[in-house]
Chain A
Amino acid sequence: MPVRMRTALVPFATLPLAACAGRQSALDPQGLQSNHILQTLFIFLIVAAVVWTAVVVVLCVGLLRRKRSADQPLALHQGFERTSGHVVFGLGLATLIIVLGLSIVSYAGQRTVFAKDEHALTLKIIGHQWWWEVRYEDDSPHQSFVTANEIRIPTGQPVKVELESADVIHSFWVPSLTGKMDLITGQKNELQFTAKNAGVYRGQCAEFCGLQHAHMAFAVFALSPDEYGRWRDHENQSATSPTDPLGKQGEQLFRARGCALCHTIRGTLAGGQLGPDLTHIGSRTTVAAGTLPMSSATLGAWIADPQHIKPGNNMPRMPLQSGELIALIHYLEQLK
């Protein structure tokens, strides 16, 4: 039986500590594609179990059965030699039939899993060492926006992700929804999937991409279509300027201390392109691509010394007074 992830589905409003969990298991299918794949896997698993058991039984019986007694290795029984020849040939033929059958099962599964829907909701995902850029693109530029490390999709609707890489090869994998697909430098790949049920599904880079490959996670939030529409409208808006003095100080620090060189916050002068877009960072559930759950403490720890939490990542350590750090955290947290 499938081993079920024990992680409960956490409503994403109350995320704090279990935030980077979410389901991440091929045995816990929550999408049309992952479900098909699991069915194919079960067919293969049953065949494999039967074949393996048969081999081990024959092996054991063969070892334990009563044998001819003479110790004369070349005194072979012609009858056995003939029969065993036929049996080996027959079993070889059976193997051939089984693998051809399984090839057909596999190809049928493959066609279903990779079936394309013209009307799918399209997102572009760009892999970076070691985070995910997520671009919601629309015919109208006013409806297009960029976010990072969290993907929100409506349930029941086919989603197409276009996969590209900004540097080395990565692989996009959300096992609870579908199988993986590589993000390859200089090539455009795509993958389609449909979430059946609302929930948080964790994904992780599956192709070794350098020092912090282990810390390149993301989450897919499958929302009801209504909820998704509300989220999209909200996410599309620019950041609201802080009104309190601490927030204003934080905004000023964000520009003054170099953060804006790499990060964009829409609606402000911060327009850096190297790091994740932070327009709505306050509503994200994790810090540093699924490395830590989001909280004031973890965000502060990350900004204070990113190289301690994720050694080798591209975010430098900026010298900040503790008061400045508090202002910066306060500012970022209100970017909901």
Chain B
Amino acid sequence: MEGIWRTPSGFFGALMSVDHKVVGRRYIVTAFAFLLLGGILAVLMRVQLAKPESTFLSADKYNQIFTMHGSTMMFLFAVPVMEAFAVYLVPLMVGTRNIAFPRLNAFSYWMFLFGGCFLWMSFALNVGPDVGWFAYVPLSSLQYTPTKRPDVWAQMITFTEVAALAVSVEIVVTVFKQRAPGMTLDRIPLFVWAMLVTSFLVMFAMPSIMVASTSLILDRLVNTRFYDSSSGGHPLLWQHLFWFFGHPEVYIIFIPGTGMVSAILATFARRPVVGYPVVILSLIATGFLSFGLWVHHMFVTGLPQLGAGLFTASSMLIAVPSGLQIFCWLATLWDGRPVYRTPLLFVIGFIVIFVMGGLSGVMVASVPIDTQVHDTYFVVAHFHYVLIGGAVFPLIGAVYYWFPKISGRMLSERLGRWNFWLAFVGFNVAFFPMHILGLIGMPRRVYTYTADMDWAHLNLLSSGGALIFALSFALLLVNVIQSLRSGTLAGDNPWDASTLEWATSSPPPPQNFDRIPVVKHRDPLWFDTESMPVVGGLSVERREVLLTSLAEAEPQVREASPEPSIWPLLTAIATTVFFIGSIFTPWAVLWGTPPMAVALIGWFWPAGHKEDEE
């Protein structure tokens, strides 16, 4: 059985892998590599701003760097890393042998990798985008930025969106159709619920940015004039399309974080999360509401006053589902018996930081307040509190929590504590002063400022905090490397956690589970402490997964799962050539498609399973 699910050996075998754990691991490592790169850019910016009129970076470099920082963190780190964890964990947590559409999954990873490398190679060649991660027109139009820089940005979006959409489809189908028998809707782990909601958000939000960025490329390449106000287009159209994606994007990053929090909290508070249905309904409500508040990014564009006021109310309303989740977590800690291991420390840090970010979010949702703080360092502080507090702290907690499962070895607790405290202190020292800087008049995206502005001391403090914060990530890296070399062996379930990924070995075998578990409780490993019931009947001769019904997870059919294949990689290469070519010439659409067609035909060529022909 292990033999038929194993990734083929050798270099070419590795390129052919369709194992969700192999792809997931690559995804996680790649996303963290981009975090490292984006983090280095952040440190460079903080060095530049540490003193007034610094000449450390030129205006041109600084503008490229802040654009690259935002684009890397949003498109190449935050969204992919959450999807990466889902790719690795969701099939294990729902008790199946591989993700749905595993070849699409491999394709998704290659697209993400190539898109990210494309952006960073462009930056290395001094063609890094310099129009902000939001690329507002008309600044990003051909007239005002006649270089290829905005094209690089817009096409990188296409790469990462293709990758994200593919993963979302896989996650939804895996959760809907491949759950272990008995895992009814109300027994799905909260992390899986969070990733399900996130996947739907991706599917509804990302098309908006793809339309936006593709129209921008068309405007620049073949002069279509979607955004040209002198020809009947309008620059605000860009802002609407961008933020219709851009605001749900925040929740695409934050909701997986809440799933991680719920998973970690249950394990280390030693009890299930209070209010399981409340948490799920909050996730779904957050998902819906997140599409109704994009306009709060546009309060100073001269909108009608009543309309803007309504978006204030809808923006603040999202505090209700977020608040409900926080209350459930607080109640869980209140009743539980907390075990203070590193993952729990990061979750506690998350609550302290994220609540502050949420409250400053309520402030920026108010139109009059926003007219002062919009595009200032107050907003920079706010969204770093929300995104780092709400997503990165849970994520680092998740790394400490699931690393033993993925690698088979424990991370050091001693380094973990140092890591947490440096991150917590460094983060607050770096970002809290920015609230004040924004209120005393410092706008965002300025490469320098004069000494008489009174911003120097707080900027220096913030830069110092940023260095401490950066150090905490260096410690994480050291911890991971040390543990891979000589960490304590983890065993199947080192934390005595309750969900199915801990029911198999660490790291899990290629087939995940020798026998598919049968789920009789929301916390299967706490419920069946002795032995777990399993279901038999899947082939041991070829790759098969068990499909179950949507609501009750009744077994329905045995379904073949694809073998390893080189075609997803070849398709990704063909698509990459097509995408990159088409920012230089429209003819790339013509000569770029035949290789893609060939690759896709190869990919979908019938495999001719015996059973299919019967």
Contacts and interface: CB of A to CB of B under 8 A. Distances in A.
B316 A103 contact: yes
B375 A91 contact: no
A184 B236 contact: yes
B443 A185 contact: no
B250 interface: no
Interface in A1-35: 3, 5-7, 18, 20-21, 24-28, 34
Contact of A63 (B235, B323, B331, B348): B348
A67 to B, nearest CB: 5
A114 to B, nearest CB: 6
A59 B313 contact: no
Interface string B297-317: 000111001001100110011
A99 B316 CA distance: 6
Contact of B366 (A44, A68, A114): A44
Contacts of A34: 372
Contacts of B369: 37, 40-41, 44, 106, 109
Contacts of A59: 330, 333, 348, 351-352
A51 B440 CA distance: 24
Interface in A60-93: 61-63, 65, 67-69, 71, 73-74, 76-77, 80-81, 84-85, 87-88, 91-92
B586 interface: no
Contact of A44 (B131, B139, B324, B363): B363
B26 to A, nearest CB: 34
Given A182-B300, A185-B229, A210-B144, A110 B448 contact: no
A210 B330 contact: no
A52 interface: yes
Nearest to B359: A48
Main secondary structure of the interface of B (DSSP, over half): helix
B372 A106 contact: no
Interface string B323-338: 1101110110111111
Given A7-B454, A210-B144, A214-B448, A99 B362 contact: yes
B278 interface: yes
Interface stretch (B9-17, B55-63, B186-194): B55-63
A52 B355 contact: yes
Interface in B491-528: 498, 523, 526-527
A3 B526 contact: no
Given A88-B275, A91-B327, A185-B229, A55 B316 contact: no
A98 B523 CA distance: 35
B372 A18 contact: no
B366 A92 contact: no
B330 A56 contact: no
Contacts of B308: 110
- Which 9 A-B residue pairs are closest in the complex by CB-CB distance? A179-B371, A186-B229, A214-B446, A24-B441, A62-B334, A106-B366, A189-B302, A48-B359, A99-B316
Given A37-B368, A113-B371, 9 more contacts: A3-B440, A25-B439, A25-B440, A37-B369, A41-B363, A52-B359, A55-B355, A181-B302, A184-B301
